[in-house]
Amino acid sequence: MKNRTTNVFILIAVVLLAVLPLLLVNGDFGGADGAAEEMITEIQPSYEPWFSPLVEPPAETESMLFALQAAIGAGFIGFAFGWFKGKASKSKSQ
């Protein structure tokens, strides 16, 4: 199979893997770390966390920072591929 066809299939599969649970599973899709705390208090009710995060951003800021994290990474990936592509077309034209 051609690379491009494979890539399209891969993207569809990844999107389906994320979307199908949303449509078919009846859950609240919480950010889950909270449930870890519940599980720990269930196993050991006396446990008290002895350190708390230095900064705890409000939910909106947190999602902004997550977006920023993804943007920085994706930006660099885009840069790298642009660079590869530029080099490849340059060596082809010579």
Partner 1 sequence: MFAAKSTRFLLLVLGFAIYFTVNEPQTAYAMHIMEGFLPLGWAIFWWAMFIPFFILGLRALIKITKETPELKIMLGLAGAFTFVLSALKIPSVTGSSSHPTGTGLGAVMFGPLPMSVLGSIVLLFQALLLAHGGLTTLGANAFSMAVAGPIIGYTVYKWMMRASGRQKLSIFAAAALANLSTYVVTSVQLSLAFPAESGGFLASLAKFGGIFAVTQVPLAISEGLLTILIWNWLQSYNSDELSILQRKMKGA
Contact residues toward partner 1 (CB under 8 A) are 1, 3, 5-7, 9-11, 13-14, 16-18, 20-22, 24-40, 43-44, 47, 49-57, 62, 65-67, 69-70, 72-77, 80-81, 83-85, 87-88
The closest alpha carbon to 81, from 10, 9, 7, belongs to 7
Instruction: Evaluate whether 69 touches 77 at the Cβ level (below 8 Å).
Output: no
Q: Which helix (H) or strand (E) holds 17?
A: helix 3-24
Nearest distance from C-beta of residue 78 to partner 1, angstroms: 9
Min separation Cβ 93 and partner 1, Å: 14
Beta-carbon contacts of residue 29 (< 8 Å; ≥ 6 apart): 21, 22
| Shorter beta-carbon distance to partner 1: residue 50 or 94 | 50
Smallest gap from Cβ 54 to partner 1, in A, equals: 7
Tallying the residues shown for the chain, one arrives at 94
Backbone angles phi, psi at 39, to 5 degrees: -60, -40
- Nearest-approach distance from CB 50 to partner 1, in angstroms: 5
